């Protein structure tokens, strides 16, 4: 479902708590010895890992809502995924074959309608009209006529797809290539003044060989072709970029340190010149009146 402009939009924290409450409630009602139980538990753990790793439940400047404040399209997309996941879980409530006992459906629908599971609002169900997934009702005929999978399996697949999209979103958010601070570090090079050799390239070759030797010590299945192994190349590039990042920070620190020394030296020379031009006597003029401090932009004490 999409997020309409006229629809009131909650925070990502509120939407995430609704999804987690629905996940937890459904996980306790499904048959223990069934594949559906395993699938739903797996998706529950994946969602909880995604929420904790990305800081969905954090507050203040570390919250996901605050980090998305400058990107409304990204916020709407994340909110849409959470609402889609909430809708998919709510639809699983109306699958009697998915629950452990049929009478537990009444126990679950009541708190959802009253909002006890985190203010989740779903349409009021007609319990007497619920039918199993195998019944050929008129409402499900058009939906299931072109699908080979059952309605319950389709709903679980929809939940899995939505969680996969949440992970794809987190990968884009956490991708270091999208951070502006890393672009200058990736161009960092360190050339030896005596030989003119690029030390970054030498270190990169050394990292590749070192990782290949470690894999041989761990008893890899293909010890002869380890330098072309994807994991060795990936870890080697990560180590090289880490060297570039620390080298860039070290160079910038030295640069700023030298700049501060030059500014202090210039200020000291100027003070001595002014002091000598006034015959050693300086009158201290009254400076501007101190203005009251302005309010800061901080909205939360982390």
pLDDT tens-digit map of 123-179: 444 444 444 444 444 444 454 444 566 777 888 889 999 999 999 988 888 776 665
Kindly report, residue by residue over 163-174, the tens digit of the pLDDT.
Answer: 999 999 888 887
Distance CA 161, CA 153 (A): 12
| pTM, to two decimals | 0.48
Question: What is the residue whose two structure tokens read 């969680």?
Answer: 163
pLDDT for 2: 47
Angle among Cα 42, 45, 50 to the nearest 5 degrees reads 125
Hey, which residues does 191 pair with through a beta bridge? 198
**Number of other CB atoms surrounding residue 63 within 10 Å:** 19
**Low-confidence residues of the chain: pLDDT under 50:** 1-2, 4-6, 101-103, 105, 116-141, 143-146, 282, 284-285, 287-288, 290-291, 295-302
Give me the residue spans of the domains in the chain: 12-174, 183-274
Distance CA 84, CA 242 (A): 38
């Amino acid at each position: 479902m999409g997020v309409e402009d006229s629809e009131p939009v909650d925070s990502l924290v509120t939407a995430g708590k609704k999804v987690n409450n629905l996940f937890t409630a459904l996980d306790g009602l499904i048959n223990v010895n069934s594949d559906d139980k395993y699938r739903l538990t797996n998706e529950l753990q994946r969602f909880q890992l995604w929420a904790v790793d990305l800081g969905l439940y954090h507050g203040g400047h570390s919250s996901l809502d605050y980090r998305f404040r400058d990107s409304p399209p990204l916020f709407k997309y994340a909110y849409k995924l959470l609402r889609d996941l909430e809708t998919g879980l709510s639809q699983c409530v109306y699958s009697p074959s998915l629950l452990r006992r049929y009478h537990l459906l009444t126990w679950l629908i009541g708190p959802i309608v009253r909002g006890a599971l985190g203010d989740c609002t779903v349409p009021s169900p007609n319990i007497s009209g619920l039918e199993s997934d195998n019944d050929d009702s008129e409402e499900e005929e058009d939906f299931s006529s072109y699908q080979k999978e059952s309605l319950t399996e389709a709903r679980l697949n929809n939940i899995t797809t939505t969680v996969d999209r949440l992970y794809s979103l987190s990968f884009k958010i956490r991708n270091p290539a999208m951070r502006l601070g890393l672009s200058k570090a990736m161009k960092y090079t360190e050339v030896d003044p005596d030989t003119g050799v690029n030390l970054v390239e030498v270190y990169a070759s050394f990292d590749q060989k070192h990782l290949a030797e470690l894999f041989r010590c761990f008893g890899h299945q293909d010890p002869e072709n380890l330098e072309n192994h994807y994991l060795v190349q990936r870890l080697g590039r990560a180590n090289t970029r880490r060297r570039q990042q620390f080298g860039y920070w070290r160079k910038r620190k030295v640069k700023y340190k030298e700049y501060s020394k030059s500014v202090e030296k210039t200020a000291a020379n100027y003070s001595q010149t002014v002091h000598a031009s006034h015959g050693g006597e300086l009158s201290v003029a009254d400076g501007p009146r101190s203005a009251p401090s302005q309010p800061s932009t901080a909205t939360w004490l982390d």
